[in-house]
A and B are shown apart, each in its own frame.
Chain A
């Protein structure tokens, strides 16, 4: 029996398990997926928890519900990958051999990288919303908060879902308006970038949206530490921003297993061929999702588009052909802008997000880079598609390669 190992049963790993089990012959290929955790989180849902739209039960399901029959699921921590000998070592000493390996171990927030961030105000006045614990603690805090300085800070890039911090402040604006206390809450968006978003045209449009919503932007702020006594965040060039409630997007890093395996960069992201999506060190290791060091967004849509490329190239490798599929960095993100509206951006390695409309067979079109109700419904509808179509590796009605139709150049 030949062996395909998948490390990580999040969005990328689960999709690949489903796709590959359909393609590879059961009497020739053994497929095993390994993850240390039991629960699958619908991560786009974290954003909705602090504002009470979702609770924990709306966004969790057992990982095993999505692992197809015929795929072995091992719950264990991974010690390291021995790429030279095609082996994976588990924490308890078990050794697994593989012919092909898919790395989909994702990315995690590391608040410990910033002095004072996990200090005495952690989950009292300082919250992250990229974890279930942080999002839930913040929801409770907001229930009784009487207002003050609400500061959102992005510690560093890259982060998961680069639009989520923007959505958060826009949601906060409409949340506090609806509660009749917007005049008591001053919202400030503090970012290491030079504007609201990473790409110029989107940054301008989104920057204007923030302005219209009376949200202050502090750009070029690179977080050094959090002063819990003075309640300020401080940058490396000694700028200070005071807060009563700090929403932090902590530093993101890949899994430490990547470092132990010698396959990553200094932030533990796997060194990956950005077009073919295999490891630059070993041809029989493929990489999908947030764990890769690709110059595109760390987002579920990217994983979904990349899955088609990894599937095709993995089959090329198995059958001894040159790798034919080429990833274009395609990313597609709904942006919640509050008051039941949303915007949409669609871009890749070479094309920045442009205004226009996005054709969506059967449902669309959605407006690009503008606020519409339809975009908001698109985002809500997506949760259903995520559980029922995307994770199961079924066809979604969007092709993986970006197209220019509807975009205004």
Chain B
């Protein structure tokens, strides 16, 4: 298991670089993680990150489609906000584990 410092705190990460304990997460850390990829997070980004954290906390599975149905954003804008692989990136920034929607 890896460790890394974000916002002055040592965080436990899994092999893929995802938080192992979502409770360690703060907004500052998300901003730092995004900065590593040269990205700036807006309020809209944080709305999505909070939605993801809520979903995961309640034990529900997470898919891109469910984010598209959240009312916060549509899928196309979600792709623009988190370019590349949006769900992988958004869950990384949200401090939760890698989505296991694929089984």
Chain A residues in the interface with B (C-beta under 8 A): 113, 156-158, 162, 192-194, 198, 220, 222, 224, 236-237, 251, 265-267, 271, 293, 295-297
Contact = CB atoms under 8 A, between A and B. Distances in A.
Contacts of A158: 61, 101-103
Contacts of A271: 60
A157 B63 CA distance: 8
B83 A222 contact: no
B103 A295 contact: yes
A1 B10 CA distance: 61
22 contacts: A156-B65, A157-B102, A157-B103, A158-B61, A162-B102, A193-B102, A194-B85, A194-B88, A198-B102, A220-B84, A222-B64, A222-B79, A224-B75, A236-B64, A236-B78, A251-B65, A265-B61, A266-B65, A267-B63, A293-B61, A295-B100, A297-B103
Contacts of A293: 60-61
Name the residue among B60, B61, B102 with the largest chain A CB count within 10 angstroms: B102
B64 A198 contact: no
Contacts, number: 53
A236 B76 contact: yes
B69 interface: yes
A111 to B, nearest CB: 14
Interface in B45-75: 60-61, 63-66, 69, 75
B34 to A, nearest CB: 18
A267 B102 contact: no
A156 to B, nearest CB: 6
Contacts of B61: 158, 265, 293, 295
A156 B65 CA distance: 8
A222 B69 CA distance: 15
A265 B66 contact: yes
B103 A237 contact: no
Nearest to B60: A265
A192 B76 CA distance: 15
A190 to B, nearest CB: 15
Given A224-B76, A237-B79, A295-B61, A157 B66 contact: no
A296 B103 contact: yes
Contacts of A220: 84-85
Contacts of A222: 64, 75, 79
A266 B65 CA distance: 9
Contacts of B88: 194
B86 to A, nearest CB: 8
Given A236-B78, A265-B60, A297-B103, 8 more contacts: A156-B64, A158-B61, A158-B101, A192-B64, A220-B84, A265-B66, A266-B69, A271-B60
Nearest to B69: A266
Contacts of B102: 157-158, 162, 193, 198
A198 B76 contact: no
Contacts of B103: 157-158, 162, 198, 295-297
A158 B85 CA distance: 17
A267 B85 contact: no
Nearest to A155: B65
Nearest to A203: B102
Nearest to A299: B103
Contact of B83 (A113, A198, A237, A266): A237
B56 to A, nearest CB: 12
**The 8 residue pairs across chains A and B that have the minimum distance between CB atoms:** A198-B102, A236-B79, A157-B102, A237-B79, A266-B69, A266-B66, A236-B75, A193-B102
Contacts of B65: 113, 156, 251, 266-267
